[in-house]
Chains A and B, each alone.
Chain A
C-alpha cells in the first residue's frame, strides 16, 4: 500500500485517506491543531485562511487536502524560527503598528511573504496589488503596507540565498 505525503511547515507527514476530501483549513485547524489560519468567510474571498502552497498563497478554506499531496505547505506557525523567534517580516508588522484585531494578520503576513519572495523590492502600489485579496476591516491597510515595505529589506539582503 502506498501512502500520500505532504510537507507541512518543513516536516514530511503522511496523509490519512479519510482526510483527503476535507477542506485544508479544517484539516489544519482540527487535525493538525494549527489554528493560525482563520475562517473569515469560508468561500475564499477574505483571505484570512491564506497559507502558502509551494510558496504561493492559497485559500485553505476552499482547497481540499488532496491538493497538498507531495507539496509544501507553509502556515503562519511555520514562519517563525526556532523557539518562537520572529521572522523579520513578522517583526516589521509589529514595528509598523500593522496589527489590530489580528484576525487577518496570519493571512496578510503569509501573502506578503510570498510577494516579497517573488519581488523583494515592490513599490507601494505593487504591495497594494499583492494584498488586494486579503481583507482587513481594522487598519485601512496603510500600516500593513508600511510593514511590507519595511520588511522587504530583509528579502533584498537575502536574495540568492535559500
Chain B
C-alpha cells in the first residue's frame, strides 16, 4: 500500500526526459539540423485542381543560379505511386493532377532561396478536366473519375446490419430524422513538415524527419527509391506536433528528400513553409451524416439507420480505416437492438483526407450526442435520463455484437463524475433556451462517448520494447513508439522504473531507429502507452526473471529465496544492489538484455454484416461545458469545462492533463473556429490568418478528472487518452448552445449570426 502511494507521488511530479532541451531551445528539430554540402529542395505545384499534364518544361529552372537538379516523376527509380492501403498517391505527379496539393517537380539548389526562385521558372502545360468536389456528386454514375483507371470514385463502403430494421420500425413510437455535417480540419502542428536525407557510404538512405510513423516513412522511401526496407534507416528526432497528421504527408516529404539525395548524391533537406503544408497535407474528413432513430415512449432506442458519406479527397490514405471506426461507433455509447449503417469513403478532387486525432469519431460523436438529446426533448425526457436509459452497461453488447465483458464499462462512472463536478443539474435549470427578455444567454451542455482502443480490426497490432542494461547499471530503453510531443518516451521510462522498482534516473530512452527495432506500427490511435507500455512491462518482467534465475544459479539457492525489489535485491539473507546484480549477470555470461513483445489480444470483423469484436478494449469519457451567448452579436463566450476519462491507469498526471486540455481545446476549435475552405483570392487557406486556431483567450479554465479502472488485457493496466479527449467538446458545445439559444446547430463549425433572438 505504502509502495503504491509512493508510485502515485512519483506520477504527480512533473518531469519529462526532453523538457530541458525544449525549454532552453536546445532541442534539435529537423529543420535545425545541417549537414556538410547539404542542398535544399522545394516542391512545385500547379494552379489547377484536375487536369492532364501535357508538358513540364524545366529547362529555364535548370539554368538558374545555384540549381543542382530539377526532378520530375520520370526520374523516380522505384514506384511512382505509393499509399498505406491503395497505392494511388504520386510522389511526383507525372501525367495527371488530381488536387491543388499535387507536386509535379522538385527543385534542388544550393540554397532554399535559389530553389524557390527557380521553382517559379518551371512551366507546366495542362489540359483541364472537370473537377468533382462534392462526394455525393462523385458517387453518381456519370461523375468524372478522380482516378481514371478505377471503376468509380468509391473508396470503400462499410456496413452494419444488426437485428431487423423493420422490426425496429414497428417497435417505435416515434421516429426522428436528422442531418449533420462536419468541416475539413487542418492538424496545424506548429512545426511544418521537414525531412533531411543522405545516402550513407554503406548505401543506406538515412532519414531524419518530422513524422509520427518512422516505419511508414521507411516504406514510402524504400518504394520510391526501389530499394529493400533494409536500405533505408529512419532516425527519430524531436517533432513539433502531429495529431495524426504526420503520417502520409510526412512520409511523402521524406520520400522526396530521399529521392533528391539519391539523384544528387548530396544530403538534401526539404522544409515546408506553412502555405505548402496547408495546401498539401491531408485533413480530417468532412462528413455528411443522415440519421433516422426510432424510439419507444419509455425512451429506449429501438433502431438507428444512418448513411455516412466521407470526403476522402484525391487519394485514399487511410480513408477505409477512418470510416471503419466511424461505422463501429456510429450510434454513440448506447445499446441499439436494430442497426443499419452504411458508410462511404469517396474520392473527390479536394485535398486528400486521412488520419487526425479522433480518426472518424469526432464526426459521429457530433451527430450521435446531439441526436440523443433531440430524441430526449422529443419524448419529454431529460437528456440525462435519456442517456442513462440507453447507455452501455457492463457485459452489454455493442452495435457490432461485441460483448463488453473483458474490462470495466465505466460510462456511468465518468458521466456521474462530470455531472457532480460541474453541478450540472442545478446549472441546467438556469439555462436560457433563447429567452427573448435576456441580454445574455447561458447554457450548459455535455457529451459522452465510448471509444475502441488502438487499431482494432484495422490491422495487425503489436509492439516491442528493448531493455538493455549496461555494465554500470544504467539502462537503455527503446520501444517502437514515437515521441510526437505527447511525452511517450517519458511514459515508457516511468513504466519501466515502476515495474522494475528502479530509479528513473538510471533509464535513458534511446530514440529508436527503424533498423534497430522491429516495426511496431504507427504512434496513433491512442496506442502509444497501451501498446508500447505493454511491451515495456512484458520486457521488464522478462528481465526481472532473468536476473532472478541468474542470481539463484550463482548463489545456489532456489528462485523463491530471491526477492526482487529493483534497487535492492534480497538474496537469501543478504541484500545486494541493482548494480551488483548487473555485475553478477555480466560475470556469468548473461546479458541483462530483454526484448518484450505485446501482441494485441484478438479482434475480429466481418465486413459484410458489420459484426465482430472490433477492439480488444474500450475507454469511456464525458466532457461538459458552460458558455454564454450575446444574442445581439452572436458572440459565444466559454466559461468552464470539465472532463472525465477512464484511462485504465494514470502513468503521469501532468502529461495526462496535457492531453485532456489539449484535446478539449482542439475540440473547441473544431466546434467554433476551424474550417479549411476557400478564402478570398485562394482556393485554400494560405496560412493561420485564414485558419483560426483557438488562442489562450478563447479558452476557459478546464478541469480534468482521472478515472482509473485498470484494464486486465493491458499489461501496464493503462489504456489511452490522446483521442478520447478530442471527440467530445464539439457536441458538448453544440448541446450547450442549444441550452443557451433554444436552437439546434447541426453543421460544424457552429456559427451564430446574431439573429437567433428573432428566430426563436
Contacts and interface: CB of A to CB of B under 8 A. Distances in A.
A38 B699 contact: no
A14 to B, nearest CB: 23
Interface string A63-107: 000000000000111011000101000100111110111111110
Contacts of B188: 135, 137
A141 B28 contact: no
A136 B190 contact: yes
Interface in B607-660: 654-655, 657-658, 660
B697 to A, nearest CB: 4
A5 B221 CA distance: 46
B580 to A, nearest CB: 33
Given A38-B240, A86-B24, A105-B23, A100 B665 contact: no
A37 B25 contact: yes
B701 A135 contact: no
B651 to A, nearest CB: 13
A131 B661 CA distance: 16
Given A41-B687, A138-B241, A145-B696, A97 B14 contact: yes
B190 A45 contact: no
A38 B190 contact: yes
A61 B238 CA distance: 22
A120 interface: no
Contacts of B658: 97, 100, 138-140, 143
A109 interface: yes
B274 A40 contact: yes
B31 interface: yes
Contacts of B28: 35
A102 B24 contact: no
A100 B487 contact: yes
Nearest to A94: B19
B693 interface: yes
Contacts of B18: 99, 102
Interface in A31-45: 34-43, 45
A21 to B, nearest CB: 12
A132 interface: yes
Interface in B1-55: 14-16, 18-29, 31-32
B412 interface: no
Contacts, number: 177
A116 interface: no
Given A99-B22, A101-B240, A103-B190, A132 B27 contact: no
A101 B19 contact: no
Contact of B25 (A36, A101, A145): A36
B688 A141 contact: no
B304 interface: no
A36 B190 contact: no
Most chain A C-beta atoms within 10 Å of own C-beta, residue among B15, B19, B27? B19
A78 to B, nearest CB: 9
A48 interface: yes
Contacts of A118: none
Given A94-B19, A141-B699, A40 B25 contact: no
A162 interface: no
Given A38-B240, A103-B29, A43 B688 contact: yes
A56 interface: no
Most chain B C-beta atoms within 10 Å of own C-beta, residue among A40, A86, A136, A137? A137
B238 A140 contact: no
B485 interface: yes
Contacts of A131: 696
Nearest to A35: B32
Contact of A143 (B22, B485, B661, B695): B661
B381 interface: no
B192 interface: yes
A121 interface: no
A134 to B, nearest CB: 8
A144 interface: yes
Provide the main secondary structure of the chain A interface: loop
A97 B659 CA distance: 11
Nearest to B16: A99
Nearest to A143: B658
Most chain A C-beta atoms within 10 Å of own C-beta, residue among B26, B189, B662, B665? B662
B275 to A, nearest CB: 8
User: A interface, how many residues as a size bin?
Assistant: 35 or more
A36 B25 CA distance: 4
A143 B190 contact: no
B295 interface: no
B679 to A, nearest CB: 14
Nearest to A134: B696
B666 interface: yes
Nearest to B187: A137
A132 B662 contact: no
A39 to B, nearest CB: 7
Contact of A140 (B190, B241, B661, B697): B661
A124 B190 contact: no
B239 interface: yes
Contacts of B25: 34-37, 75-77, 105-106
Contacts of B19: 93-94, 99
Given A38-B190, A97-B14, A102-B485, A129 B697 contact: yes
Nearest to B275: A42
Contacts of A141: 661, 665, 695-696, 699
A128 B29 contact: no
Nearest to B703: A142
A80 B21 CA distance: 11
Given A86-B20, A90-B23, A102 B240 contact: yes
B458 to A, nearest CB: 25
Contacts of B694: 140
Contacts of B697: 128-129, 132
B485 A101 contact: yes
B178 interface: no
Given A38-B191, A90-B23, A94-B19, A138 B662 contact: yes
22 contacts: A34-B25, A35-B32, A38-B191, A39-B273, A40-B192, A40-B240, A41-B274, A43-B689, A46-B190, A94-B19, A99-B22, A100-B485, A101-B189, A102-B23, A103-B189, A129-B696, A132-B696, A137-B188, A138-B485, A141-B696, A142-B699, A144-B696
Interface of A: 29, 34-43, 45-46, 48, 75-77, 79-80, 84, 86, 90, 93-97, 99-106, 109, 124, 127-129, 131-145
Given A36-B25, A124-B701, A138-B241, 17 more contacts: A38-B240, A41-B688, A45-B687, A76-B24, A79-B24, A97-B654, A97-B657, A100-B241, A101-B484, A103-B29, A103-B189, A128-B697, A129-B697, A132-B697, A133-B695, A140-B661, A140-B664
Interface of B: 14-16, 18-29, 31-32, 187-192, 238-241, 243, 273-274, 484-487, 654-655, 657-658, 660-666, 687-689, 693-697, 699, 701-702
CB-CB nearest 4 A-B residue pairs: A36-B25, A101-B485, A97-B654, A103-B240
